[in-house]
Chain A
């Protein structure tokens, strides 16, 4: 059944191109909802999620041993679930896209469909096809509908992704050539490849090539710089999908493919993964502390949170890897919510994301719902108990304590930084000193404000003439679509935070069954 998420999403995408523009958003919403409903049903209907159970299997290129083979276990189902969740809210948060809406939702649905495909593929070639399929839609989403420096951000992000793809491609071809001889009929079946004994010398070079290739997409330090730039440039729904799903594609594939296929190579290199993960957590948090653009703060926080995922993967124990999967879910929801508030609720209304400018608007009073959502998301992001971020990060740290106690100490320091930059962003955005802003005397000037200009040169924003334009009373209220999207995400982070077993019951058996833990 879960396979239908892929079919429906792609069918919806291509159907959109033929429809009049009025229907575009409704079709996109229906498609996203259908995918979400299916992934939710599949998630709860799978009683035992430990085995990577085949869903669909048909020969695809028999002469070269490729199959259209989909399968799902607890990890796949969890990530398919967060894909559906983020997809629905992303569509809701782009409800007012008026500029080329059919195209916009077409590319959006391609990203979503490709992501479902990656999470459910059981054939390495198929997985890679879906993985590469996601690259180009991201470019168009950002370059056409983005903001701030969008063409640069789009190209940078796309080239980084494709560079990662090229590294993975090389490793996959090498795997195909090495292991394919013994098994022509299904040469790239992930389960069978995981049982194949690659020679240690081969693993020693193939693992880092493949892992780094995937990890670029997961935002591994020092190849993370595409992420903040790309997230900032992307339209709101684009940022939500990028941070919420696309970064998980890299982390998931690194786990499912690189680590599972090359356990020896993983053992050899894993300490370096942990080192890079910890550096990512601390470094990105420190950088976020100094940002003046709200979206940059959130972009770096994504890198920081994905550092937890890498650290969790590097622990090579059930707790650490299970926590990493939980963190993928949790960060998907939290980052989507943060970007939704920053990009949609605030930027669309105020046309600035500069923290100093925002702090003078008193948005906490003007947009109470936005403030509420942002407080929840910030709390979850900081790892306050009761939210999903806490459950995930504590699991990862417990796992890391067994493997690398020093890493836990350093990460602890990093978490203080996370709390610091999150609180700073929260305070400046919503609870700044609003008194001066409302006193701007000059008449509102409804035109002549170029958003990119404003955020590029913050000194201009703070001049009193500009301030008066965005007086809080001019802000349009939060729409129903926005409220629905935010409520969905808030519910998800609370549900998982209060009852993590909801996910962990399905994640843990699947993690225990992974080849990397059972050499």
Chain B
């Protein structure tokens, strides 16, 4: 089974770099973007299985990106990886909007994230 195609969007280049250094050696097709708008273009272009995305980003918010993506093409699963915490309210809202999963930053386990990505890719 081929590895999932991933697009990662985060304003923090260091974070993206870290994600890449885990997924890339494992054969995932991962492309990255540090801006939400650039991310949307990437998604259009790459048609990934999974989008890993931060919630709060300059320029455009994660949930805007989410609704945009869903309106464009509902197939890519969106997994939020974010430090934003308002007691679960946003999390619930995003999941309702169609997000696949919600991970807290810092990421406690890359393995778990990978599992979530694989699961999302299979759906």
Is chain B found bound to chain A in the same assembly?
no
